[in-house]
A = this chain, B = another copy of it.
C-alpha cells in the first residue's frame, strides 16, 4: 500500500509510504512550474524525461533536472517504452508540450499504463479529446488536466458555498480573464509567443483556447452548472495576428442561467485578471486570481463578507486541508499546482493500491469539455456570433 490511511471527504490527506515516480514530457517553463509544485508536495520524485527532441539539448536539460542520463529520452514514445519495462518505471507523466502534441503523448502513456497529467487545452481537436476520454476509461488510468485555478483553496470554498445553496437559485455567471502582456505589438513575434498564434500548433483559437478555457472551467467548476450555449465575437485588438487575441461571449448554463465570458491579452493594468462572479437569488460571490486568497461573499441584507483560509473563520475542513502556510502568510499559484499534484498523487496511489478515490481535481472529462467549448466558440465566431450549442460529447 502506498497510501498510509483512508481517503475521506473532509479529513486531512493521508501520507505515502513512498514517493511516486514522475516523468516529464516537454521541458519548458510550464514544466518547471509544475515540477516545483510536485516537489513541494514531497509525494513525487522526478526520475525520467523527454525534455527535448534535440539530442544535445536533451542532455543539457537532463543535467539541469538532475536526471539519470539513462532515463532521459529523445521522445515521449521512447520514454513510455523504456519506463514500462523498468520495475521502478514512472507511475505518471506530466505533459506540457505545445497543444498539438498532447494527444499523441497522452495516448502513448495510457497505452503503457502510465497515469497522465496533461496541460490544457487537452487537445486542439474534439475528436482527439473524445478518444482520450475513451482511452482513459478503457485503461482505467488516472488522467488529470491542468485547470489549476480550480485548486485554489478559496475556489474550492466558493464551490462549496454554491453547492450549499447559500446563494439561492443562480441567476447570473460572469467570468473574465484579462492579461496585458501582449499589449506591445512586438510581442506577437517573440519565440515563446509565436506558437500560440500559429494555427498549426494552437488550433482554431489562441486566446480562447489558452485562457478562455480557464475562465470557462472555473465558471462551471464553481457554479456546478455546465455551459450549454454561447455566442462569441473574436477580435484582434493590437498588431495583426493570425488568431484572435481577444474574445467576448454571451453564455448560457444549464437551466438557462445567463452569463458573460471575456478573455483578452491586451488589457494594460491586468496581469492575472481572472475574475468570477456568481449571483443568485439570495447572495453573490466574487473571486479574483490577483487576490486569490480572498473570497468576497454577500448574503443580501447582511454586511459583505471576505473569507480567507486558515484556522476556521467560516472555511470548511475540506478546504483547509489544501492549505500549507499559516493563516495570514500568503500562498500562490505554485501552491495551487501543488494541490493538484497532491490530489493527482492520491488518485494514482489509490489506483495502484486498488482502492477507490473521489477527489475534486479536473480530469479528462473536464479537459474534453474545454475542447468542445473552444470548438463551439470558433464555430460561433466564424458564423458572425450566432448562438451555438456546445456539443455534449
Query: Which residues of A are interface residues toward B (Cβ below 8 A)?
Result: 15, 17-19, 29, 33, 35-37, 39-40, 42, 63-66, 167, 171-172, 174, 179-181, 183-185, 231, 233, 235, 237-238, 246, 248, 250, 258, 260, 262, 264, 266-273, 277, 279-286, 289-293, 296-308, 310-314, 324-335, 338, 385, 387
- Top 8 nearest A-B pairs by Cβ distance? A271-B328, A272-B328, A269-B298, A268-B284, A330-B332, A171-B237, A329-B333, A303-B314
Closest CB in chain B relative to A190 CB, distance in Å: 12
A–B pairs, 17, beta carbons within 8 Å: A33-B325, A36-B40, A36-B338, A172-B266, A180-B284, A184-B300, A260-B260, A266-B279, A267-B284, A268-B282, A269-B285, A269-B297, A269-B304, A289-B328, A290-B330, A304-B305, A330-B331
Determine the residue in chain B with the shortest Cβ distance to A338: B36
**Given A181-B327, A313-B303, A333-B325, CB of A269 within 8 Å of CB of B283:** yes
User: When chains A and B are docked, how far (Å) is the Cα of A324 from the Cα of B183?
Assistant: 22
Which chain B positions have C-beta within 8 A of A285? 269
Which chain B positions have C-beta within 8 A of A37? 40
Which chain B positions have C-beta within 8 A of A238? 171, 281
Closest CB in chain B relative to A264 CB, distance in Å: 7
Closest CB in chain B relative to A175 CB, distance in Å: 13
| CB–CB A271/B308 < 8 A | yes
User: When chains A and B are docked, how far (Å) is the Cα of A335 from the Cα of B325?
Assistant: 11
Determine the residue in chain B with the shortest Cβ distance to A384: B387
| CB–CB B36/A330 < 8 A | no
Closest CB in chain B relative to A290 CB, distance in Å: 6
| CB–CB B328/A290 < 8 A | yes
| This chain: copies in complex | 4
Which chain B positions have C-beta within 8 A of A338? 36
User: Among the listed B258, B303, B312, which residue makes an inter-chain contact with A301, where contact means beta carbons less than 8 Å apart?
Assistant: B312
Which chain B positions have C-beta within 8 A of A18? 66
Closest CB in chain B relative to A222 CB, distance in Å: 15
| CB–CB A40/B42 < 8 A | no
User: Among the listed B65, B270, B279, which residue makes an inter-chain contact with A267, where contact means beta carbons less than 8 Å apart?
Assistant: B279
Closest CB in chain B relative to A232 CB, distance in Å: 10
Closest CB in chain B relative to A160 CB, distance in Å: 13
| CB–CB B260/A267 < 8 A | no
Most buried by B among A266, A325, A330: A330
Which chain B positions have C-beta within 8 A of A325? 33, 332-334
User: When chains A and B are docked, how far (Å) is the Cα of A172 from the Cα of B171?
Assistant: 27
| CB–CB A268/B289 < 8 A | no
Which chain B positions have C-beta within 8 A of A328? 179, 270-273, 289-290
| CB–CB A248/B246 < 8 A | no
Which chain B positions have C-beta within 8 A of A281? 183, 185, 238
Which chain B positions have C-beta within 8 A of A292? 330
**Given A33-B324, A332-B325, A332-B331, CB of A284 within 8 Å of CB of B269:** yes
Which chain B positions have C-beta within 8 A of A297? 269, 303
User: When chains A and B are docked, how far (Å) is the Cα of A69 from the Cα of B74?
Assistant: 36
| CB–CB B66/A267 < 8 A | no
Which chain B positions have C-beta within 8 A of A312? 301
User: When chains A and B are docked, how far (Å) is the Cα of A296 from the Cα of B271?
Assistant: 14
User: When chains A and B are docked, how far (Å) is the Cα of A37 from the Cα of B302?
Assistant: 30
| CB–CB B302/A303 < 8 A | no
User: When chains A and B are docked, how far (Å) is the Cα of A262 from the Cα of B258?
Assistant: 12
| CB–CB B267/A172 < 8 A | yes
| CB–CB B301/A313 < 8 A | yes
**Given A171-B266, A250-B233, A301-B313, CB of A330 within 8 Å of CB of B66:** no
| CB–CB A269/B286 < 8 A | yes
